[in-house]
Each structure stands twice: as structure tokens, then as C-alpha cells.
Amino acid sequence: MEIRPRLVITGASGFVARHLMRALKARYRLVALDRHPRIDSQIPREAEVVWHQVDLGEARQVESVFQRIAAGGGADALIHLAAHYDFTGEEHPEYWRTNVDALRHVLEGSRALGVRFFVFASSLAACAFPPPGSAVTEDSAADGSHIYARTKRVGEAMLAEYQDSFRSVIVRFAALFSDWCEYLPLYHFFGTWLSGRWNASFLAGRGESAIPYLHVRDAALFLAAVLERADVLRQGEVLAAAVDRPVSHRELYEVATHELFGRAPKPWCVPKSLCVPGIWMLDLIGQHFGERPFERPWMAQYIDQKLTVETGRSRERLGWEPRRRLEILRRIPFLVENFKTDPIEWHRRNQEILMLRRPLANLRIYQLLQDHREEIVCRSAGLLHRPEVRDRLPHYGELSTEELEWSHRLALRNLLHAVRTRRKGLFMAYCRDLAERRAELGYRVAEVAYSLHALRQACTEVLDAEPEVDELRDELRRLVNQTIRFGVDQVQMVYEALEGRASELPTTETLTVERSATVDV
């Protein structure tokens, strides 16, 4: 039996790591390091990933985790994706703590672990924009003036200190995006251009600000190719992951607005000489009112600048090519479609995966329920087939296990939608339809209510085994238990309307499954 190599990935709950682990799970034994719990990563439960929650900025925590990894068999390679980057332009101390100190801790741990190959994720944003007519290549220095570029320059230089311990390479990525956007400037642009607001057609300068983009799925395949070519890559070699042609704001605007409106409204180009004081003024107003705009004064220097790159050497070295169908202008129709049809998911992915804030409690509960969906369905259906309750549930007792599971899978799907959107009315509407159908088939109200309480009990029992649930207990009551309680109320209301005998209906207390095993609402 072939033993798969073990791969350590830092920054495991981040944007790139999620896609990378899905691409590599069949070829590697994955060890994930991140400061957040696994629930924040959206990595499927069935994926074979050993997860270590650790703050890489804390040397003792890193040392302890690497000792545990060593005790579990060590690792063959490590991809360091953990990094701090924001668009404020401020020199936040987290840049040095995460991009420099944490890297040092990981490098020391890798040396003790016996790692043979180390991949350091950097960015083309670490390089200064080239003069017109020239391009950034793999030989370009990380000479950008932004605080991120300066810390990445320190990190790239740090790798040379460990060349006697393992081979290392540097990967500089273009701006990464997905079909849900997940790149903060692009998310902001879409929110403005597609909004219909007064400034929806404004472009800074001539609209020629341009950078290269790369779809995250191609980025994951790029890293997979780096691992496959580890033995032929040189120590300290720089690789660039990008589509060579930069795409301008004007091009993005024209394709996005045409896709949404059927035509591209003529953009109003604001001269740079007006943009600079305008950005300063809006930022000062935002500071005064406590809500600063996305555009910050430091961004003005890049108006109408182009980050042109040439990455032919990297493609030749890896035997990798970006797929044309995943180029950003070809994917914008997919982004616009997601923006239109599922705005909740659109904003969730952009605001939480980009770590503008910690995932909202309802979305964390939603993910937990998703992870354990089949277990919840099987357990809730099983509660209706127990011998001690079969006499109380004559109609459900006649259903096969497959039919019961299908029924509870449908109920859970509607509950999930209500949890994700925080709208109990969605589940209540489903329960009204359920009650009408069950009444037509001769089910008693107590049977229908009991089946919903069985779903509630199954959710509670399954999620109780998750350590993250302790801090979500109150939200779990509101979003799951109370939602199902409201659904039961709708069932009772429908039966009252159909039968006209409200006084003969059983009380809520007689409908509970096993109160000692159920969280009170």
C-alpha cells in the first residue's frame, strides 16, 4: 500500500487554502494550521485533514504543535499561506507579527520537523509597478513601498537562512478571485458599479488602472504543480502565478454592467487631479463619522498605473498554463449571476472569508448543520421508528426508512435556509405546506408536530458533540429550536383552520420527544 506524503498548510482557513486542500486531499495527508477552528474553514468534514488551531505568532504554541506533528510521523513539505494584508494602508503591527515573526516560528518548526520542501506564498503586489513599456518578472525584486511589500521582502530574504535545512521556493500570486468574487477591491467595485447609486458610473483617472488576475482554482493547480516539480526547482527560486495581461477597471466595468443591465452605461472618468483631493476629503469625513470609505489616500498613486507581468518562465518550469475559460473577463458573467441570484451567499463569502469580521453565528451554525446533515437526517428518522412511539405515530410507522429520511432531509433543507438567512418565515411557510399535505393524508396533528420535534432533538444531540457549540448555545436556541417551535405553531394553526376544533388539540407539552434530551427553547 502506497503511503501518501504528508503536507502541512498554514493559513488553512484562508481563501487559497480551502481550494488547495480540496485539490490535494487525494494525493497528500493534510495537516492544517490556523488560528481559527475548523468550522471557519468550510473544509468538508469527510476530508481527511488533521486540524491544529494555533496562533503562529506565538512561538511556544508553534513549537508545541510541531512537536505533535513530529510525533505523528512528521511531514514532507509545507506550504506557508498565512499572511496579513489589508487595504487600509496603515502600518498595523499585525504585518510584522504575522508576516515576519510567524514566518520565523514556522521556519524553525520546519527545520526541527525535517521538512524537505518549503513553499512561501508571496504576491506580485510586493513588487513596485514597472515603468511603462516594461514588466515585472520572476527576477524582479520585492521592492514595493507598501508595508505588505516590505514585510514580504523581509520574509523572502529570511528563507535563505534555512537553505541548508530544506529547499524553499517563493510563489508570487496575482490578484486571486473566484466566481463569488472574494477579492476585496473587486467586491467593492461590483458593489458600486452594479448598485445604481449616484457614483455607479465613476472611474478614477482614465479607468486604466490595471493589474493581473488569476482564478483561485488555477492558483490551487499552480501550487499542486510546484509540489510535483519540487525536485527540479532551484533553492530560492521565484515563481509567478498570473495571467500576463493586466485587466483595467474600464474593462471590468464595461463587461460587468453590460452583463447586468444589457448595456454598458458610459463611464464618467474623473481626472486624477480631482480624485486625489476627493479621496482625502471623503476619508476625512469618514474618520469624523466613524465609517471610512474603502478608497484610502494611499491608493491615489496607482490611478492609471499598470502592473504588467511576464511569467513565461514559471509556466515553462512547471508545465502549467492558466485556463482561458477562467480568465477574469470570461468569468464576470458567472460573478454577476451569483451577485444577482444569491446576494446573501455573495456577501457572506466576501465579508467572512476575507476576514473583515469573524463569521456570523448563524453562518457557523449553518455550516455545522451542513457538515452533519446526513447524520441528523438518519437520527431524526430513527426517532420516529422506535418501538415505544410507533403506536403514537401510526402513519409515520407505515413509512419506510428511505421515505422517512427523504421527508426529514427536505425539512432540514428548509431549516438550513432559514438559519442561513435568519428568516424563520421560510421554515414556517414550509411547515404550513407540510401540515396541509399531512392532513390530506389523514395524519393527526400530534404526529406532524412530533416529527418536527424529532428533527429538533436530532440537531441538538448531533451538534452537542461539537466543541464550538458551547459559545453558540444561545444562537442555537434562537435559530434552530425556536425556528422549529414556530414551525410547530404553524402546523397547529393549519389543523385548527381545517378542523375547527382548537379545544381538542393536544397541548405543546404532549408533543415533545424526550424533554430531558432536548434543549429548552
Check whether 483 has a pLDDT greater than 90: yes
Check whether 520 has a pLDDT greater than 50: no
Same domain, residue pair 485 and 512: yes
Same domain, residue pair 234 and 252: no
Question: 326-330, 343-347, 458-462 — which is least confidently predicted?
Answer: 343-347
Encoded amino acid at 57, one letter: G
Same domain, residue pair 103 and 18: yes
Cα 39 from Cα 18, distance rounded (Å): 12
Cα 50 from Cα 64, distance rounded (Å): 15
Q: Which residues pair with 238 in a beta bridge?
A: 170
Check whether 199 has a pLDDT greater than 80: yes
Beta carbons within 8 Å of 210's beta carbon, 6+ residues apart:
246, 247, 248, 249, 251, 305, 306, 307, 308
Asked whether 284 and 191 are in contact (CB, 8 A), the reply is no
Whether 356 is covered by a domain: the verdict is no
For residues 73 and 222, the model is more confident at 222
Whether 103 is covered by a domain: the verdict is yes
How high is the pLDDT of residue 365?
86
- Say whether 80 sits in a helix, a strand or coil: strand
Cα 414 from Cα 409, distance rounded (Å): 9
Q: What is the pTM of this model?
A: 0.72
Question: 31-45, 238-252, 400-414 — which is least confidently predicted?
Answer: 31-45
Give the mean pLDDT of the chain. 87
Check whether 180 has a pLDDT greater than 50: yes
Cα 38 from Cα 236, distance rounded (Å): 32
Same domain, residue pair 389 and 505: yes
Give the residue among 81, 245, 241 at the shortest CA–CA distance from 171. Answer: 241
Same domain, residue pair 91 and 157: yes
Give the residue among 238, 235, 138, 257 at the shortest CA–CA distance from 190. Answer: 257
Same domain, residue pair 367 and 228: no
Same domain, residue pair 507 and 462: yes
Question: Average pLDDT for residues 75-84, to the nearest whole number?
Answer: 94
Question: Average pLDDT for residues 206-234, to the nearest whole number?
Answer: 95
Question: Average pLDDT for residues 257-280, to the nearest whole number?
Answer: 91
Q: How many other β-carbons are positioned within 10 Å of the β-carbon of residue 247?
A: 20
Q: What distances in angstroms separate CA 102 from CA 105, 108, 156, 238, 272, one per listed residue? A: 5, 10, 13, 21, 39
Asked whether 162 and 118 are in contact (CB, 8 A), the reply is yes
Condensed to tens digits (0 to 9), the pLDDT of residues 362-395 reads 877 888 888 888 999 999 988 988 888 877 888 9
Same domain, residue pair 117 and 203: no
Whether 29 is covered by a domain: the verdict is yes
Kindly compute the dihedral angle of the four CA atoms of residues 357, 371, 6, 233, in this order, to the nearest 10 degrees. Answer: -50
Same domain, residue pair 264 and 372: no
What band does 49 get if pLDDT is binned at 50, 70 and 90? Answer: confident
Domain of 136: which CATH number?
A: 3.40.50.720
Domain of 467: which CATH number?
A: 1.10.490
The residue segments making up the domain with residue 491 are 363-517
Phi, psi for 137 (deg, rounded to 5): -125, -175
Per-position DSSP letters for 118-133, written without gaps between them: EEEEEEGGGSPPPPTT
What band does 356 get if pLDDT is binned at 50, 70 and 90? Answer: very low
Same domain, residue pair 335 and 260: yes
Check whether 514 has a pLDDT greater than 60: no
Beta carbons within 8 Å of 22's beta carbon, 6+ residues apart:
43, 44, 47, 220
Kindly give the interhelix angle for 373-384 and 401-421, rounded to the nearest 10 degrees: 130
Of the ranges 147-151, 331-335, 353-357, the best mean pLDDT one: 331-335
How high is the pLDDT of residue 516?
35
Beta carbons within 8 Å of 12's beta carbon, 6+ residues apart:
21, 32, 33, 34, 41, 43, 49, 51, 81
How high is the pLDDT of residue 352?
67
- Say whether 215 sits in a helix, a strand or coil: strand
In 3-state terms, the chain is what percent helix, strand and coil (to 5)?
A: 55, 10, 35
Condensed to tens digits (0 to 9), the pLDDT of residues 19-45 reads 899 889 889 999 999 987 776 666 656
How high is the pLDDT of residue 218?
97
Which helix (H) or strand (E) covers residue 475, if one does? helix 473-476
Beta carbons within 8 Å of 233's beta carbon, 6+ residues apart:
167, 169, 226, 239, 317
Of the ranges 211-220, 293-302, 468-477, the best mean pLDDT one: 211-220
**Residue located via cell numbers 508545465:** 319
How many domains in the chain? 3
Whether 351 is covered by a domain: the verdict is no
**Over pLDDT 90: what percentage of the chain?**
56
